């Protein structure tokens, strides 16, 4: 098979910060800004059908991605199981759109902003526009970012300090399971077996396995920053005595 659905990226070699990449970054920022600007218009229930439709579209494009890997002989348990942080975020995104459960939002807000946003700005991707993989990669990551922002600004969901605790419980329950699966299949899901071959943030966090502990500390710090930005702000009330003139 050749062309936009092929395994080869000979004619679709992606370059970071190329024109196509800057277009995606612009779409990400613009889309986020529009969600904030039109947040009041998005509060009505008429958007419920759109929520379900987006959830279905994520399931369809992710299923097509796995079909693409199977057709091109690249599907393997060592890398194709949805156990990466962004794959888990995609599952959480679909679940949030379908159920609207607050506990899913509390975890997704952090994994989306910390994980999917990094994938948008520094993507590990070989395929450029207009290859299928280019559309799959950026469509899923953009939606993963936009959905928790939509639920924050349009639906009034907000994280609490306990949301950070829930995130850490979730990730630390998940971590030993993924480490066990990595050993079974020879994988490196969530980089819990070794650092990536290419340069990354993990290079400055120490050797294996200590960089995992460093990463948890960094994750805690960044999660607290996100909580501080998106938490419910207390209303500031200024009371003026009736007997005193306002100055």
Per-residue pLDDT, 194: 86
How many Å apart are CA 3 and CA 18, to the nearest integer?
21
**Confidence at 234, pLDDT banded by 50, 70, 90:** low
**What are the pLDDT digits (tens) for 87-114?**
999 999 999 999 999 999 999 999 999 9
Q: In the Cβ-directed half-sphere of 46, how many Cα atoms lie within 13 Å?
A: 4
Query: DSSP labels for 23-91?
Result: HHHHHHHHHHHHHHHTTTTT-SGGGHHHHHHHHHHHHHHHHHHHHHHHHTT---TTT-SS-SHHHHHHH
The residue assigned the tokens 């960089």 is 211
How many Å apart are CA 52 and CA 59, to the nearest integer?
11
| C-alpha R_g of the chain | 21
How many Å apart are CA 95 and CA 41, to the nearest integer?
23
- The mean pLDDT value for 189-213 works out to 80
Which of 33-37, 124-128, 168-172, 192-196 comes out lowest in average pLDDT? 192-196
**What are the pLDDT digits (tens) for 55-99?**
999 999 999 999 999 999 999 999 999 999 999 999 999 999 999
* Of 189, 60, 182, 196, nearest in space to 124 by CA: 196
Per-residue pLDDT, 240: 43
How many Å apart are CA 178 and CA 187, to the nearest integer?
9
pTM of the model: 0.90
Q: Give φ, ψ of 236 to 5 degrees.
A: -95, 120
Instruction: Tell me the pLDDT of the chain averaged across its residues.
Output: 90
Neighbouring-strand partners of residue 127 = 13
**Confidence at 186, pLDDT banded by 50, 70, 90:** very high
Neighbouring-strand partners of residue 13 = 127
How many Å apart are CA 151 and CA 97, to the nearest integer?
9
Query: DSSP labels for 170-199?
Result: HHHHHHHHHHHHHHHHT--GGG-SS--SS-
Cβ-based neighbours of 177, under 8 Å, separated by 6 or more: none
């Amino acid at each position: 098979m050749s062309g936009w659905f092929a395994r080869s990226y000979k004619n679709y070699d992606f370059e970071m910060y190329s024109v196509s990449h800057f277009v995606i970054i612009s779409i990400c920022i613009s889309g986020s800004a529009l969600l904030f600007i039109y947040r009041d218009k998005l509060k009505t229930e008429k958007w419920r059908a759109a929520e379900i439709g987006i959830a279905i579209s994520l399931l369809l494009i992710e299923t097509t991605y796995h079909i693409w890997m199977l057709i091109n002989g690249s599907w393997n348990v060592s890398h194709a199981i949805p156990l990466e942080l962004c794959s888990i975020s995609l599952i959480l995104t679909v679940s949030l759109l379908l159920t609207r459960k607050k506990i899913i939002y509390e975890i997704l807000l952090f994994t989306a902003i910390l994980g999917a946003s990094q994938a948008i700005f520094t993507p590990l991707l070989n395929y450029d526009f207009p290859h299928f993989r280019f559309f799959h990669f950026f469509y899923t990551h953009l939606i993963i970012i936009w959905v928790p922002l939509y639920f924050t600004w349009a639906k009034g969901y907000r994280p609490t300090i306990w949301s950070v605790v829930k995130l850490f419980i979730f990730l630390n329950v998940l971590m030993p399971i993924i480490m066990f699966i990595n050993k079974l299949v020879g994988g490196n899901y969530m980089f819990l077996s070794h650092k990536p071959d290419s340069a990354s943030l993990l290079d400055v966090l120490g050797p294996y396995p200590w960089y995992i502990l460093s990463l948890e500390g960094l994750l805690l710090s960044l999660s607290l920053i996100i909580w501080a930005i998106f938490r419910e702000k207390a209303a500031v009330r200024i009371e003026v005595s009736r007997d005193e003139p306002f100055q």
